[in-house]
Amino acid sequence: MELNRRNFIKFLVGGVAGIHVTPLPWKLTDDSAIWTQNWPWVPVPPEGAFATESTVCTLCPGGCGIEVRKVDERTVKIEGRTDYPVNPGGPCPVGMGGLQLLCNEDIRFTRPMKRVGPRGSGDFKDITWDEAMEALRGRLAGLREQGRPEALVAIDGSPRGSTQALLLERLLMSMGSSNYTRIPSAEDTFWMAGILMQGNEGPMAFDLENADFILSFGSGLLEGWGAPGRVLNAWGMWRGEQKGKTRIVQVDSRASNTASKADRWVAVKPGTEAALALGLAHVLVTKNLYDRAFVRDHAFGFEPWESSDGKRRAGFKALLLEKYAPSKVSRMTGVPAAEIERLATDFARARAPLALCGKGKGDLNGSLYETMAVLALNALVGGINRRGGVLVHDKLPLDPFAAVEADAIASAGLRKGRLDGAGSATFPFAQSLVNRLPELVLKSRSTPVDTVLVLAANPLYTLPGSGAYRRMFEKVPFIVSFSPYRDETAMMADLILPDHVFLEKLQDVVWPSGLQYPLVGLSRPVIEPLYRTRHAGDVLIGLAKGLGEGVADNFPWENFEEALKERFKGIAEGAPGLTSFDGSTPPWETMASGGDIRADYESLDDLWEKMQSGGLWFRPAHAYGVRNGLFKTPTGRFEFFSTQIELALEEQSQHGGTDEVLARMGVSARGDEACMPHFEEASSGGDPAHYPLILVPYEMINLASGWIPSPPFLFKTIFDNQLLKQDSFVELNPETAAKLNLRQGQRVMVESPAGRIQARVSLFEGAAPGAAYLPLGLGHTAYDEFLKDKGANPNEIIEPARDPLSGLPAWWNTRVRLRRI
Amino acid sequence: MEKGPDHGKHRYGMVIDLDKCTGCGTCAVACAAENNVSVRQDESDKERSISWMQIFKITNGKPYPDTEVSYFPRPCMHCEEDGHGHHTSPCVTVCVATATKLDPNSGIVSQIYTRCIGCRYCQAACPYKARYFNWWDAYFPKGKGLDRYLTPEVSPRMRGVVEKCTFCHHRLMRAKTRAYAEDRREIEEDEYITACTEACPAQAITFGDLNNPKHRVSRLAKSPNAFRLLERLNTKPKVYYLSTKDWVRKLADNYLPDEFKPLS
Amino acid sequence: MENQAHSSDQSTKGGWLFFIAGFIGSLILGWVIFPMALYSSQPQPMNFNHALHMNPDKVDGIEGDTETEKCLFCHQLRDDGTFAGIPRLEKCMECHDDPESPLGSTPEEKDFLTRYVAEEKEIPWLSYYRQPDCVYFPHIAHVKMGKVDCRTCHGDHGKLEDLPAYRANRLTGYSIKIWGERISGLKFNTWDRMKMDDCAECHTKKGHEENNACFVCHK
Amino acid sequence: MTPFSFEWQWNIDYLLFMGLLYLALTIVGCGVGFALLKTVLQLFGFMRERHF
Amino acid sequence: MDSPTHSYGVKRCSPGVFFLWTLPWLGILAWGGLSAVLCLWKGLNQTNMSNVFAFALWIVFDLAVIALGAGAFFTGFLTYIVGKKELKDIINAAVIIGFICYSGAMAMLGIDIGQPLRGWFIFWHANVHSMLVEVSFCITCYLMVLTIEFIPIILENRTLQKVRELRLFGHNLHEIMAVFAATGTFLSFFHQGSLGGMFGVMYARPFAARGGFYIWPWTFFLFVLSAIAAGPLFTILCTKLTEFITRKKLVPDQAVQSLAKISAWLLSLYLVFKFIDTLGWANSLVPKAGLRFMDFYREGPYGFWMVVAELGICGILPAVILMIPKVRQQQGWLIFAGLLTCAGIVLNRFVFIIVTLAIPVMPFDRFWSYLPTWQEWGVGLAVVGYGFLLFSAAYRYLPVFPKEPELNPAAD
């Protein structure tokens, strides 16, 4: 009996036979399957107690109410709120995916940082908050010591009128710099048009839900215009309970979602919306369909008049009759004359017609004359301050803070005026012109700008002609970013003072854009900050305090919350409002009650406390139909002919003829026409012979297009003929593509005089012939793998002209050509 | 004994009004966020990306300027029949390991990831492409913090298994649990709705019990404008669509020439 | 290989011994060594005397008429019906509110007060009965609506004076309580095993076969 | 799956389908078992070996 | 050269030559092994399969290989049950080819499923209504049967014959081979059918769906028929290839002709049914789904030519060739027809798998295309390499062709 091979085999056979009558093979089979069910690398979300907290979304100026579902201290889901009047339901997809902007360490700055590598390299070093604050404080103090505080420039993208914006501007003023600039948005254009025609500083308020005929001039109602939660909800209502009662007509050059889903799509040549609006006005006049009572009693400059100097002035009506007959407008816009007449008739015959403007989402500014033309159209049908029209409001009674007390250094700095020339003779109506900064910095050898503070903005990505900003930032000595995100602009910064992101941050949401009644939301933090970030408001206050007496005196608050609460003094003392909404009757239904509202709070403290829980103050009341004393224009009337433009031109004409002034303002019209809404042919640097197509950047609701990055979830909703791997698609009409010999999916270079980007061709019957459409919101060069190098950013090749009169960038008229690669 | 399609206790279903739907994609995002759906670096690979609620874009194909686009949001249809008259859905009959079943009490087609062996037969059988295979492990790179938003109510999937829309059945469980806490056994119409229904800003989606005549869905599903996707295949989906537009209605199914009967 | 012709006959009988040796060897491997190797053993961070806390003579304040209600006093159902599981420190501190003054005199309590209450640190308990992530188990449906005793699934855990070590399957990560303590898989008590078939068996026995539908217990 | 599994349903589909599976397995098992047994018996001389 | 490991009275090449011959097949196996490891380790993302092409190259290989391996059960059936004695000369080869095909297919399926470690759920948690369960059950059982059928052949190896236990066991198994053959026939019949049934029951895929008898759609029977028509031809092709490579005659013509004749009849019968099925389907199920026959052949590379190729060139043509005894008896024509038939059956399986999935059902969906990755080719071709290797080894060491010594009398 030796252990030879055969016996060993027998031993093994015995073993194999034996093992099968033990649990081992069976349990291992079972356990290995169970192992695959519990792979250690598959995350197991921890259990805990569920809770929901409500707050307000600040990812766009729309300010939807949101509810955040939490498991213990983790936020797991964002949902819409039914007790918030802006959006009685879900928010937009960006808001829905917001948690991905909170819990992603690759796109966030988790602590203050200092640049160590070359600019733009993204090489940063961790520093402490003390070091960070001291670095910036030292820089600012240095500027004051050198007596050039005006070399401090801020680029701010926080919503207009928000406390954070106020504090930043205040810091600059206290320092002695008037160079506070803002990222231009549709709100700026609205503001200017409002001032010029209505004399009113309140935001443009559209009584959408009460209108029965909505004529939108390129406003992307379904692409995120205004407060998306509100507009989409209204849309559902128009197609639901109110089926057939409200008609929607979309003026657009492309079969966008809004155009397709509207009752009627009026296809216009890109950029000719103003001409169409004026053509409609012409029909209203010739067919006598306009509101004669309103024009007679409350308007100025419609009929001919004799001015004080005895000159006979033709007026708006004459301008319409002369230049905007349907046949002419048809040639300008490509819309058949008969359709113009029919549309005008339908519009005028509606009970509550409302014309809208603001290109796309309104994240970018629009054309001032176009906005004025649309406003004029509303006025012609008597739609100003009428139920279902454009409502005229005063500014919110939020406390503006006491005036800045400038010390000697500051006063000297402030006297030097603004670098960008906003408010100057050339740009009399602009408040800030960030688009002028690059040329100012780049043209001089030593830049007049020393330090730039960037707050809630990503100019390198979001502004048209972004290349110029990159060159500017390469030259500016010191850049400070408050961005919580590793965005393109932050990558250029020398110092990062990361802000909290929205769910960690206390913020006021001032009047969601386009809303027809005053509303302030309070976006409360729903979780403790995840990282070592700091509220930008607190940083600004801290900085001011660190800069010593002259500056610190203007910042009497301990922290942002205190400053914020102080602003609500105005609300508490002003017209009564409500701090809760039960969701039963929408405010737009009850608004007609006039001013008859009883405040549900007693004092500032009471209001503040109630706002902490409901996150809301609003005033669902409006004095419809009141027009007397409404308009704060020099004539006290709605001005079809803006006397303020006339005045500005006159003031300047001493320095040359009016024609010269107009030329400087970029206005091609001459004489009285310049003071009235009119159509200005888009000017573009590109020669149509070499650049045969017009580039139309368009926005999508399922991509964030402002400074906020898109949550990765959104890419599930992007089609593969919009983005495929690293390529975004340029939409072309099949006919246009055929002429250029391009096929679906083909890679092309989109070239403009300003640069070129790569894209693929997407054939779309709904694209206007002769135009090339590129989506905004793709083509990041910063952030993480989910966002970086995906698609192209059309801003890079846009050659922004100046919008006539407003001075803001005109980004809708760049010409391009496509080259196969 | 097999119960007929109408004889189960509940038959949860959905009605999507395509006239209201704006194609914004909030439903798809809400679904992904609610259900811990994995997001990959390249979501443009539509053949392999996962979107339980997938949105299909359709156009009427007419030349400029008569072009129109519309959208079909497509969750799992939770079919009631397999197309051959059996009271089971096309995917359920074929599943080898009983990983997917049609629950007779709720009408929901369940999918158990830990049971699924990943043979993908169900995907082949589903004409709606509502089923998704996990070609990769869920993507949560280390140290990125992305897994912090995962909800414990839905189990994250491992690679190699099929997943699909579940009508947010965990919300049904949530509602039931809450009802139990309040000493109730039955739940109300609004207590259980899916994440997409809740999220839709245009209120285009309605969810409820098709067996309950009081629920809005059972009324809407009987509307003359109501139709289902690929109805002729007799899979009896529980997701209905509403549209007044004939070209949209026509694209919901295959028709021989002259077979389609327009509404107007 | 040269003597193969007759070696086959020779080795036949002796060879069977090798066969039997192999057979018995694998029996030992499979029944004794394998189960020992498969499970890890980890002590709880500190001891908890269930028996003491459940004894009204020694500890009062734990209210409840029935055993189940007493269990639920600490292992609570939340207002939304979800089950809180092992109590958090907060719950313990409803009674043990002062780190300085113990209520009793056990060393565990002292340990608890100094190491956790004073430091405001949660005790990292190891849960014996946690089902895997794919399982949705609503306690409320069983305890409140189904009137199932805690004992049915958890056995006499509430009578233990000492917490046993936590043993987990090294391969699957399951607590040994789920698959069952006995490697043979035999089951004598309802709480011996908590696999799917056991849940289903109980549902069927109680006439709730509809609850064997997949989505009742899976998530 | 065995009739003891909770997923088992007492209907004709299961009986027929699983029945045939078990039948096939039984036949194959019996066949192999028979050959094994016969071999063992022949080895220990309880049965005569047939020569080919 | 005689060696104690070879059978008596046959000549085999030298170990060195044999080793060189195995090299390419080992290379393919290594490629397949690497692919398999990658797929198991990293997951199926290594392939180009997708949610559209849930089934792809591997399943095509599987179905093709299993259809071609049908020669084993059918020849076994003819030999042991029907009693066609002349087929005893080819049955061993048929069994080995069957074994190769089935074991290869099983291995490939093991990689193809997303969770191989849970594969046994098919048995433990079976859904008895799924055709794939029927397939799995029968294939697994049949693979057992094939193994049992293979064992006596292995044990007939000259060296192993010296071990008494093994010799006895082999003989005893061989004695009751008819039982196994019968069981195998039963199992194989059902899974060949249910493989077809798998597609026929996808009622919501109008391209694949079929009406049928009881629970079995017509494809069930078509697959059985096509498999038993093509399987024996594949066995013939394999033996002819072996004869060609070894430059020996290994199987008497009688056996080959007998099989070929049966195949010819079965193929013709299959084609008749297939045409009836296609016409019936095109005129009932297809219009019911709102489609027309030609709608399926409009998009992508899969045009009407596929129908012509599958049914005409690879169907009618070989059937005609094989039906005429004089033509069939010429080796060239026989091989040509065999190749066509086998290509036809592969094409048929391809159409049912890939084309079914590529054709969109929702009108607004689009046509997708698919190209396998090298990993997919690796795993697929590994079966071929494995087949060559195993068959070569069997030929070298086992009495695969019992008539070989007789047909090739030793020169010395």
Contact E335, E239 (CB under 8 A): no
Which of B25, B42, B195 lies closest to A717 in CB terms?
Answer: B25
Which pLDDT score is estimated for A376?
97
Closest CA to B109 of B154, B160, B157, B164: B164
B261 found inside a domain? no
End-to-end CA distance of chain D: 43
- All residues of chain D having their beta carbon less than 8 Å from the beta carbon of residue E163 are none
Summary mean pLDDT of chain D: 86
Q: Tell me whether chains D and A touch (3+ CB pairs under 8 A).
A: no
The tokens describing B142, both together, are 């280390």
Cα gap A754→A797, rounded to integer Å: 5
Domain membership of residue B167 as a residue range: 12-250
Beta bridge partners of B8: none
Question: Sign of torsion, CA A219 A223 A229 A232?
Answer: positive
Q: Report the CATH number that the domain containing residue B43 is assigned in CATH.
A: 3.30.70.20
Asked if the Cβ–Cβ distance from E50 to B230 is below 8 Å, we say: no
Question: Over the stretch A503-544, which tens digit does the pLDDT of each residue have?
Answer: 999 999 999 999 999 999 999 999 999 999 999 999 999 999
pLDDT tens-place string over residues A402-431: 999 999 999 999 999 999 999 988 899 999
pLDDT at A227 over 90: yes
**Is residue A431 a contact partner of residue A423, using CB atoms and an 8 Å limit?**
yes
**CB distance E400 to E90 below 8 Å:** no
Residue B55 at interface with chain E, using a CB cutoff of 8 Å: no
Does any domain span residue C94?
A: no
Query: Distance between CA atoms of A333 and A670, rounded to whole angstroms?
Result: 22
Q: Where are the domains of chain E?
A: 15-219+275-302+350-405
For residue B3, the model assigns a pLDDT of 41
Find the largest Cα–Cα distance for chain D: 51
Tell me the pLDDT tens digit for each residue of B201-256: 999 999 999 999 999 999 999 999 999 999 999 999 999 999 999 999 999 999 99
Distance from CA of A30 to the nearest CA of E (A): 8
Q: Look at residue E130 and tell me whether its pLDDT is greater than 70.
A: yes
Fold exhibited by the domain A693-820: Barwin-like endoglucanases (2.40.40)
Q: How far apart are CA A302 and CA C42, in angstroms?
A: 88
SS3 A392: coil
Which domain, by its residues, includes C195?
Answer: 42-86+125-217
User: Can you tell me the ipTM of this complex?
Assistant: 0.94
| Domain covering E15-219+275-302+350-405, topology | Formate dehydrogenase/DMSO reductase fold (1.20.1630)
pLDDT number for residue E230:
95
Nearest chain D Cα distance for residue C176, angstroms: 22
Three-class SS string for chain E?
CCCCCCCCCCCCCCHHHHHHHHHHHHHHHHHHHHHHHHHHHHCHHHCCCCCCCCCCHHHHHHHHHHHHCHHHHHHHHHHHHHCCHHHHHHHHHHHHHHHHHHHHHHHHHHHHCCCHHHCCHHHHCCCCCCHHHHHHHHHHHHHHHHHHHHHHHHHCCCCHHHCHHHHHHHHHHHHCHHHHHHHHHHHHHHHHHHHHHHHHCCCCCCCCCCCEECCEEHHHHHHHHHHHHHHHHHHHHHHHHHHHHHCCCCCCHHHHHHHHHHHHHHHHHHHHHHHHHHHHHHHCHHHHCCCCHHHHHCCCCCCCHHHHHHHHHHHHHHHHHHHCHHHHCCHHHHHHHHHHHHHHHHHHHHHHHHHHHHCCCCCCCCCCCCCCCHHHHHHHHHHHHHHHHHHHHHHHHCCCCCCHHHHCCCCC
Query: Which chain D residue shows the shortest CA-CA distance from E122?
Result: D1
CB B75 within 8 A of CB B14: yes
**Residue B16 parent element (H or E):** strand B12-17
pLDDT-derived band at A613 (thresholds 50, 70, 90) equals: confident
C197 in contact with D at a CB cutoff of 8 Å?
yes
CA distances from E29 to E34, E96, E386 (A): 8, 18, 7
Statement: residue E407 has pLDDT above 80: yes
Confidence of residue A661 (pLDDT cuts 50, 70, 90): confident
Q: Does any CB of chain C come closer than 8 Å to the CB of residue D2? A: no
Residues within 8 A of C (CB atoms), B 163-182 only: 166, 169-170, 173-174, 176-181
- Dihedral sign, Cα of residue A200, residue A201, residue A207, residue A212: positive
d(C-alpha D46, C-alpha D41), whole Å: 5
Q: Is any Cβ of chain C less than 8 angstroms from the Cβ of B51?
A: no
- Which pLDDT does position E4 carry in this prediction? 65
Phi, psi (rounded to 5 degrees) for A114: -130, 140
DSSP, collapsed to helix, strand or coil, labels residue B12 as strand
In the complex, which subunits touch C with 3 or more CB pairs below 8 angstroms? A, B, D, E
Average pLDDT, chain A: 93
Best E50, E115, E118, E159 member to test A by mutation, with max A CBs in 10 Å, is: E118
Please tell me the predicted confidence (pLDDT) of residue A699: 94
D50 interaction partners in chain E (CB closer than 8 Å): 171
E33-51 tens-digit pLDDT? 999 999 999 999 999 999 9
Residue C200 · residue D6 · CB < 8 Å: yes
* pLDDT score at C14: 67
The DSSP code for A308 is T
pLDDT confidence tier of residue C1, bands split at 50, 70 and 90? very low
Q: Which residues of C touch E164 (CB under 8 A)?
A: 8-9, 12
Chain C contacts in chain E segment 118-177 (CB below 8 A): 162-165
Domains A113-187+398-500+545-573+576-608 and A693-820 share a fold: no
User: pLDDT-derived band of residue E2, with 50, 70 and 90 as boundaries?
Assistant: low
User: Is residue B2 predicted with pLDDT exceeding 60?
Assistant: no
To the nearest whole Å, the CA of C72 is away from the closest chain E CA by 36
Residues 6+ apart with CB under 8 A from A93: A701, A702, A713, A714, A717, B24, B25, B26, B28, B29
Is C103 part of a structural domain of the chain?
A: no
pLDDT of residue A691: 93
Alpha carbon B201 to its chain centroid, in Å, reads: 18
Where residue E221 falls among pLDDT bands split at 50, 70, 90? very high
pLDDT-derived band at A594, boundaries 50, 70, 90: low
Residue C99 has a pLDDT of 79
Residue to test with chain A: of C13, C76, C172, C178, most A Cβ within 10 A:
C172
pLDDT bracket for residue C111 (50, 70, 90): confident
Q: What is the mean pLDDT of residues E161-181?
A: 89
Number of domains making up chain B: 1
pLDDT of residue A654: 75
Per-residue model confidence (pLDDT) at position C4 = 42
Q: What residues in chain E have their Cβ under 8 A from chain D's Cβ atoms?
A: 123-126, 128-129, 133-134, 137, 141, 144-145, 148, 164-165, 168-169, 171-173, 175-176, 179-180, 183, 186-187
**Would you say B118 and E115 are in contact if contact means Cβ atoms under 8 Å apart?**
yes
Least confident stretch, A438-442, A648-652, C131-135, E192-196: A648-652
| Res C195 pLDDT > 50 | yes
Which chains contact E through at least 3 pairs of Cβ atoms less than 8 Å apart?
A, B, C, D
Higher pLDDT, residue A652 or A181: A181
Minimal-distance CA residue of chain C relative to E165 = C8
User: In the structure encoding, which two tokens stand for residue E269, read together?
Assistant: 């019968």
Mean pLDDT lowest for which of A692-701, B139-148, B199-208?
B139-148
Tokens of B115: 């049971």
Q: ∠ CA E323-E326-E328 to the nearest 5 degrees?
A: 55
For residues C172-179, give the mean pLDDT.
92
Q: Exposed (0-12), middle (13-18) or buried (19+): which is B246, by Cβ within 10 Å?
A: middle
Give pLDDT, residue A447.
Answer: 86
- Among chain A, residues having any CB pair with chain E shorter than 8 Å are 29, 32-33, 35-36
Residue C39: helix, strand or coil by DSSP?
strand
- CB burial of E132-155 (b: ≥16 within 10 Å; e: otherwise) equals bbbbbbbbbbbbbbbbbbbbbbeb
Q: How many CB atoms lie within 10 A of CB C139?
A: 22
Output the pLDDT for position E3: 64
**What average pLDDT does the structure give for chain E?**
92
Q: Which of C27, C78, C169 sits opposite A18 (nearest CB)?
A: C27
Q: Which CATH homologous superfamily contains domain A205-392+637-641?
A: Dimethylsulfoxide Reductase, domain 2 (3.40.228.10)
CB C219 within 8 A of CB C135: yes
Q: Which chains touch A (3 or more CB pairs under 8 A)?
A: B, C, E
pLDDT at C8: 46
Cβ–Cβ of E162/C8 closer than 8 Å? yes
Find the mean pLDDT for residues E241-259: 93
Give SS3 for B10.
coil
Tell me the chain C residues in contact with residue E127 when contact means C-beta distances shorter than 8 Å: none
CATH 3.30.70.3340 fits A113-187+398-500+545-573+576-608, yes or no: no
C7/E contact by beta carbon, under 8 A: no
Whether the CB-CB separation of A318 and A302 falls below 8 Å is answered with no
| Residue E163 reports pLDDT greater than 90 | no
**Residue B222 and residue B210 in contact, taking contact as beta carbons nearer than 8 Å:** no
Q: How confident is the model at residue C3 (pLDDT cuts 50, 70, 90)?
A: very low
To which H or E segment does residue A27 belong?
helix A24-37
Bridging pattern class, strands A507-510 and A495-496: unpaired
State the chains in contact with B (3 or more Cβ–Cβ pairs under 8 Å). A, C, E
C32 DSSP assignment: I
In DSSP notation, A251-272 reads EESS--HHHHHSSEEEE--TT-
| Domain extents in chain D | 12-46
DSSP A752-811: ETTEEEEEEEEE-TTSPTTEEEEESS--BSSS-TTTBT-S--GGGT---EEPTTT-SEE-
What angle, rounded to 10 degrees, do the helices at E218-246 and E253-283 form? 150
